[in-house]
């Protein structure tokens, strides 16, 4: 399967090659299968319009602009290694296309194997699902989004690129039981804790990758009630999961001075509600400003907690909405 021909195909291919080189220069796309996916899936088909920051709000760029210079600007932006705002309502960002290099890192961390069934939470533009389809085959990919309009748009974009995975409008916090079980679940929206339905819909040994606080937690699932894993070292900022089981995360600057460091904000996202800001700052300084990779999450029965260094160690904090 491949992209249908369109008026931007040739220019898009050039931009795509440049994007792949840029991501490779960061030490990513070492797996030939993922390199081929990024080299062949036409990202511009998934962002026919998007928004860029402008004085007083957002400016809309689109493929049908009558100004050729603005069309060129749209196409270059479609292949820039940055996140793209794809849906804005009443001045608020509703949906975005993730930074391609971060996508590459996440897909590599998923460690998929031929024949794996993958559930994606947050369909967005459909581009991430297309990369999964290229690697695994569309029959192994399911993507859900709470917003029916976003789901339909993702379905349309995927079809234009030649892919037809299962795209459903559903509450991502509840997973997608009708297509279970899954070998991998990947979320492209931030969660405050791990939704229990995800674990129940996984095969034993499955991996779950999800944005939590300002990091990416990679969990190995033992069974429907148990999972554990560590955060990846990278930072990650995503639109929050919406739905019945979701709570909107907050990322303010909770304390002046050194605690404004983005690694402290990650810790604060984990301990908020358990420690006050001064206690959190004291811990962060005492433990030598720990990076994300020193933290992890354990799910055991009806309990979920984040921890530093050791799941059974002295530093552990219940995640929001859990016992």
Q: Is 282 known to be catalytic?
A: no
- How is the chain split into domains, by residue range? 9-170
Span 125-184, pLDDT tens digits: 999 999 999 999 999 999 999 999 999 999 999 999 999 999 999 999 999 999 999 999
Q: How far apart are CA 129 and CA 165, in angstroms?
A: 8
pTM (two decimals): 0.91
Spatial contact of 13 and 3, defined as CB atoms under 8 Å apart = no
Span 173-195, pLDDT tens digits: 999 999 999 999 999 999 999 99
Task: Specify the CATH architecture of the domain 9-170.
Answer: 3-Layer(aba) Sandwich (3.40)
Q: How far apart are CA 175 and CA 316, in angstroms?
A: 27
Banded model confidence at residue 321, pLDDT cuts 50, 70, 90 = low
Which tokens hold the place of 238? 């995503």
Which residue among 95, 96, 101, 235 is the active-site one? 95
Question: Closest Cα partner for 288 from 257, 263, 253?
Answer: 263
Span 36-59, pLDDT tens digits: 999 999 999 999 999 998 888 889
pLDDT, residue 217, reads: 98
Residue 26 or residue 95, greater confidence:
26
Span 223-256, pLDDT tens digits: 999 999 999 999 998 888 765 444 444 444 444 4
Q: What is the CA radius of gyration of the chain?
A: 20
pLDDT, residue 262, reads: 86
Q: How far apart are CA 60 and CA 136, in angstroms?
A: 34
């Amino acid at each position: 399967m491949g992209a249908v021909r369109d008026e931007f195909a040739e220019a898009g291919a050039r931009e795509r090659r440049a994007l792949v080189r840029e991501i490779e220069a960061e030490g990513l796309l070492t797996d030939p299968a993922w390199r081929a996916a990024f080299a062949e899936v036409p990202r511009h088909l998934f962002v026919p319009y998007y928004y860029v920051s402008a004085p007083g709000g957002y400016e809309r760029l689109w493929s049908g602009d009558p100004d050729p210079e603005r069309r060129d600007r749209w196409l270059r932006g479609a292949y820039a290694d940055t996140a793209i705002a794809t849906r804005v309502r009443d001045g608020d960002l509703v949906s975005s296309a993730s930074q391609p290099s971060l996508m590459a890192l996440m897909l590599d961390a998923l460690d998929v194997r031929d024949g794996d069934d993958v559930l994606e939470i947050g369909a967005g533009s459909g581009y991430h699902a297309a990369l999964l389809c290229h690697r695994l085959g569309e029959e192994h990919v399911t993507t859900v989004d709470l917003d029916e309009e976003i789901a339909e748009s993702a379905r349309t974009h995927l079809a234009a690129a030649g892919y037809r995975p299962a795209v459903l409008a559903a509450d991502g916090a509840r997973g997608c039981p009708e297509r279970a079980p899954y070998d991998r679940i990947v979320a492209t929206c931030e969660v405050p804790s791990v939704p229990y339905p995800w674990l129940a819909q996984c095969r034993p040994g499955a991996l779950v990758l999800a944005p939590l606080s300002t990091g990416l937690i990679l969990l190995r699932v033992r069974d429907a009630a148990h999972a554990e894993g560590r955060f990846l070292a990278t930072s990650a900022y995503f639109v929050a999961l919406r739905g019945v089981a979701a709570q909107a995360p907050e990322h303010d600057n909770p304390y002046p001075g050194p605690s404004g460091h983005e690694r402290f904000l990650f810790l604060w996202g984990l301990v908020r509600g358990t420690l006050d800001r001064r206690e959190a700052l004291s811990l962060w300084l005492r433990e030598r400003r720990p990076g994300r990779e020193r933290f992890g999450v354990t799910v055991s029965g009806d309990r979920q907690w984040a921890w530093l260094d050791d799941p059974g160690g002295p530093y552990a904090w219940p995640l929001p909405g859990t016992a």
